[in-house]
A and B are shown apart, each in its own frame.
Chain A
Amino acid sequence: MSRIGVFVCHCGMNIEETVDTRLVAKTLKEYPGVVHAEDYDYMCSEIGQQKIREAIVEHNLDGVVVASCTPNMHQETFRNAAEEAGLNRYRLEVANIREQVSWVHSDRQVATEKAIRMARAAVEKVRGDDDLEPIAVEHETRCLVIGGGISGIQAAVDVANSGHEVILVEKDPSIGGHMAQLSVTFPTLDCAQCILTPRMVEASRHPNIELLTYSEVVKVAGFMGNYEVTIRKNPTYVDTDKCNLCDKCSEVCPVSVKEEFNEGLSERKAIYLPFEQAIPSSYVLDENACLGVKPIRCGLCQDVCDVGAIDYDMAPEMITQKVGAIIVATGYDLYDPSHLTEYGGGKYPDVVTSLQFERMVHPSGPMKGQLRRPSDGRPVKRIAFVHCAGSRDPGRHNPYCSRICCTYTAKQALLFKKGVPDGVGSVFYIDIRTDGKGYEEFAQGIISGKRIRYIRGKVAKVVDEGDHLTAWGADTLSGKRMEIDVDLVVLAMAMVPSEGTAELAKTLHINVDENGFLKEAHPKLRPVETTTAGVFIAGTAQGPKDIPDSVAQGSAAAAKAIAILAADKLSHSPEVAAVNEELCSGCGICATVCPYDAIKIERSGIAVVNDILCFGCGICAASCPAGAIEVKNERHMQIEEMIGVALGSEK
């Protein structure tokens, strides 16, 4: 005969308001096998936990049921308390009478009856529970970081500094991400490259970091602590170590294409240096732009290369690595401006994106910092900056706020006024959201100090008038329509997840939100975790954010990853599937339905479960025609009993 204790939590008024907890406790006390039952205000409090510990000792309990909130919240708390009192932790079960009862019902009598039945069902489960021990799992101590922007670099350096090896994978030929393109950063006006490049160098020189640029993660298998990743390293056709950056190859190359680093404002050759501070510091041959390497159609670059760095035989390389944790920091792209047809985005050359403007004002950008119209090269005297271009537009574009545009537009207006003191800057805004530390003071200082004209209204249309553009706006504060003539229109484009985010999320078995950004496990309490254990997210891949937040998330994800990498052994729940070898016929249905690939049919003709891969979901148990496979502590008999009492059968 079992000796079970039942504890019913009021959760303040959360449960008590709809469930008569005293009646639940009183009824359960009469239930067969229950030797102790009580109700209390907050079972999760230290006093509540002490009640569990005392009752276990006093009544020599062999099982405990806590009827309270969801087991996701406090099952661990209660199990720890039970363990401290000498009870095997897997003999404690939680009946969820908050989320599944009090919060979803209003009739107190019916809710109380349901709570009683759920508590009884939990008692039936505990009655059948065995003592179990957590499974200790060996794990890898290396970390994979996907994405070499500022967030990924920060994560990689932090993990590497903790003494763990890191593989930093970057899709582009250089690390640095979008931050490398920026002119200066708000609100301090630091030159972006001056603060970024030391980090890039640190990442590339760190003895614990292996840098894989021009590479993509193509396959991920395994589980927390033991992932096996396959990375495709695309051929650059240039030996990084041999290349001495002489630029001869680029000079002779006959092919010109738009230069990505300058957002298409300039051209580069098919063989090119991504940008001056690129890491690795080497030329790269763009296979798509090149006239042909297989077979060689041109070969001029190889002819002029004195050091023999160019190798047309280079092939994609598949690299397989074992890692314990994965950090995803794949960043953002700008929303395609050609979607904004009313502004002539992607059509009028003098309607540029915010990133293009960053390159235009950059001292080493395509215009050497001299602001000129991309169309005819005339100096820019009048600019209209348009906030929320593609953001905050649930009707046609993206519903969310891209967060950084208000502050960087103020910065860009300042840079414009610095370069062109007699220039006229007009900023069309809906609201000004400068939420970061020091950002409000920064933006307001520019608005008042530089006499920038802020117009509260969104531009409806940009008209090309030949030698200038006309922006149609409205000043909603004075109620006047206005048309202003400008030389340049700068669109503060929305941030969207970088290309390939959705495919990568699929590869990693992690979720994306309704806007395609990587989804966190909990919006407030688990912001850098995903629902896949051991995979973490950081930076703008998770949602629009500025540099400090991206860096903070990089460090946060690193801390989470280090906790796994530094653990002596990882603990895995013993509540996994087990096979009754006497009954198993080796039909293999369980192996087919297992979502975790945890079951194999061995040569002996029976199913064998890999405990570490198994998450105890029970699909195999439900599908086995012979009832030969069951989840520990969730055996068929237990579940049958639970269903019975839940449906009202009496003991």
Chain B
Amino acid sequence: MTKAKQTAQEEFALLELSMDEIVDKVEELSGENVFDCYQCGMCSAGCPLAEEMDLLPNQVLHALQMKDPEAMSANSMWICASCYTCQVRCPKGVDLAKVMEAMRQIYLRKRMDHVSLDGLSHREIRRLPQIAIVASFRKKTG
């Protein structure tokens, strides 16, 4: 197991939430019904960042439907740039960008990590997904 994967799983454990609770929370925060998805794959087919994701966007939704913890430990939500291409194309009208944001929020609201800009090396800033940095700082602004 890669270190990143292990860290992701440890962080998931720190959430102390069951997958049932997580799916409910995702739906509450996003306002979307993840069970609307019928797995046509159009989101993944059009996603500009799908190649970088552990799970393709449609697989993230499938994992949520199956209550599979991998939905929360995969890097997909942090790669998602909220470009909304998936939302525009989805035939079932699922706003997947909102779902991804809700999943991120579940982590961010736990305030588990304490990112400070000073503490990040140039290399880290270059390598970290932009959306992760944006999200990390957003929780500091309330």
A residues near B, CB below 8 A?
342, 388, 392-397, 430-431, 456-461, 472-476, 479-482
- Cβ of B40 and Cβ of A481 under 8 Å apart? no
- Cβ of A472 and Cβ of B45 under 8 Å apart? yes
B6 to chain A: closest CB distance in Å?
Answer: 21
Residue B44 interfacial (CB < 8 Å): yes
Scan residues 39-94 of chain B and give those whose CB is less than 8 A from a CB of chain A.
39-47, 50-51, 55-56, 58-59, 85, 89-93
B64 to chain A: closest CB distance in Å?
Answer: 15
Residues in A with CB closer than 8 Å to B35 are none
CA distance A474 to B44 in the complex (A): 6
Closest to B91 in A: A393
Q: Could you say which of B50, B85, B93 contacts A481, with CB atoms under 8 Å apart?
A: B50
- Cβ of A479 and Cβ of B89 under 8 Å apart? no
Report the tally of A-B residue pairs with Cβ distances under 8 A: 76
* With A473-B41, A474-B41, A481-B51: A342-B89 Cβ-Cβ less than 8 Å: yes
- Cβ of B91 and Cβ of A394 under 8 Å apart? yes
Chain A to chain B contacts (Cβ below 8 Å), 5 pairs: A396-B91, A474-B41, A481-B44, A481-B50, A482-B45
Residues in A with CB closer than 8 Å to B45 are 457-461, 472-474, 481-482
Residues in B with CB closer than 8 Å to A393 are 91-92
| Besides the known contacts A392-B91, A431-B38, A481-B44, 9 further A-B residue pairs in the complex with CB atoms under 8 A apart | A342-B89, A394-B91, A394-B92, A395-B91, A456-B41, A474-B41, A474-B42, A474-B50, A476-B40
- Cβ of B46 and Cβ of A472 under 8 Å apart? yes
* With A474-B50, A476-B56, A479-B59: A459-B42 Cβ-Cβ less than 8 Å: yes
B32 to chain A: closest CB distance in Å?
Answer: 12
Q: Could you say which of B39, B50, B55 contacts A430, with CB atoms under 8 Å apart?
A: B39
Residues in A with CB closer than 8 Å to B38 are 392, 430-431
CA distance A431 to B91 in the complex (A): 14
CA distance A342 to B38 in the complex (A): 20
B75 to chain A: closest CB distance in Å?
Answer: 14
CA distance A481 to B86 in the complex (A): 14
- Cβ of B56 and Cβ of A474 under 8 Å apart? yes
Q: Which 6 A-B pairs have the closest CB atoms?
A: A457-B41, A460-B46, A460-B45, A395-B93, A393-B91, A474-B44
- Cβ of B40 and Cβ of A458 under 8 Å apart? yes
- Cβ of A395 and Cβ of B44 under 8 Å apart? no
Residues in A with CB closer than 8 Å to B44 are 457, 460, 474, 476, 481
How many residues of B are in contact with the other chain, CB < 8 A? 22
CA distance A479 to B92 in the complex (A): 20
- Cβ of A430 and Cβ of B92 under 8 Å apart? no
B residues near A, CB below 8 A?
38-47, 50-51, 55-56, 58-59, 85, 89-93
B95 to chain A: closest CB distance in Å?
Answer: 10
Closest to A397 in B: B91
CA distance A473 to B45 in the complex (A): 4
Residues in B with CB closer than 8 Å to A431 are 38
- Cβ of B56 and Cβ of A481 under 8 Å apart? yes
Q: Is the interface of A mostly helix, strand, loop or mixed?
A: loop
Residues in A with CB closer than 8 Å to B55 are 479
Closest to A342 in B: B89
Residues in B with CB closer than 8 Å to A476 are 39-41, 44, 56, 58-59
- Cβ of A461 and Cβ of B92 under 8 Å apart? no
* With A472-B46, A474-B58, A476-B58: A458-B93 Cβ-Cβ less than 8 Å: no
Closest to A431 in B: B38
* With A395-B93, A459-B42, A473-B41: A481-B58 Cβ-Cβ less than 8 Å: no
- Cβ of A460 and Cβ of B39 under 8 Å apart? no
- Cβ of A430 and Cβ of B59 under 8 Å apart? no
CA distance A482 to B38 in the complex (A): 19
Residues in B with CB closer than 8 Å to A459 are 42, 45
A632 to chain B: closest CB distance in Å?
Answer: 53
CA distance A394 to B93 in the complex (A): 7
* With A472-B46, A474-B44, A474-B56: A458-B91 Cβ-Cβ less than 8 Å: yes
Residues in B with CB closer than 8 Å to A475 are 41
Closest to B55 in A: A479
CA distance A461 to B51 in the complex (A): 16
CA distance A456 to B45 in the complex (A): 11
B47 to chain A: closest CB distance in Å?
Answer: 7
Residues in A with CB closer than 8 Å to B91 are 388, 392-397, 458
Closest to A391 in B: B91
Residues in A with CB closer than 8 Å to B93 are 394-396
- Cβ of B41 and Cβ of A458 under 8 Å apart? yes
Residues in A with CB closer than 8 Å to B58 are 457, 474, 476
CA distance A397 to B50 in the complex (A): 25
- Cβ of A479 and Cβ of B56 under 8 Å apart? yes
Q: Could you say which of B42, B85, B89, B92 contacts A457, with CB atoms under 8 Å apart?
A: B42
Residues in A with CB closer than 8 Å to B46 are 342, 460-461, 472
CA distance A430 to B39 in the complex (A): 7
Interface centre among B38, B44, B55, B90 (most CB of A within 10 A): B44
Residues in B with CB closer than 8 Å to A481 are 44-45, 47, 50-51, 56
CA distance A388 to B58 in the complex (A): 18
Closest to B56 in A: A479
A469 to chain B: closest CB distance in Å?
Answer: 14
Residues in B with CB closer than 8 Å to A456 are 41
CA distance A26 to B137 in the complex (A): 77
Closest to A455 in B: B41
Residues in B with CB closer than 8 Å to A396 are 91, 93
Closest to B51 in A: A481
CA distance A431 to B73 in the complex (A): 29
Residues in B with CB closer than 8 Å to A430 are 38-41
Closest to A459 in B: B45
Residues in B with CB closer than 8 Å to A472 are 45-46
Closest to B41 in A: A457
B25 to chain A: closest CB distance in Å?
Answer: 24
CA distance A465 to B89 in the complex (A): 21
Residues in A with CB closer than 8 Å to B89 are 342, 460
Residues in B with CB closer than 8 Å to A479 are 55-56, 59
Residues in A with CB closer than 8 Å to B85 are 460
A494 to chain B: closest CB distance in Å?
Answer: 11
Residues in A with CB closer than 8 Å to B92 are 393-395
CA distance A396 to B89 in the complex (A): 8
Residues in B with CB closer than 8 Å to A388 are 40, 91
Residues in B with CB closer than 8 Å to A394 are 91-93
Residues in A with CB closer than 8 Å to B39 are 430, 476
Closest to A456 in B: B41
Residues in B with CB closer than 8 Å to A392 are 38, 91
B39 to chain A: closest CB distance in Å?
Answer: 6
CA distance A396 to B40 in the complex (A): 15
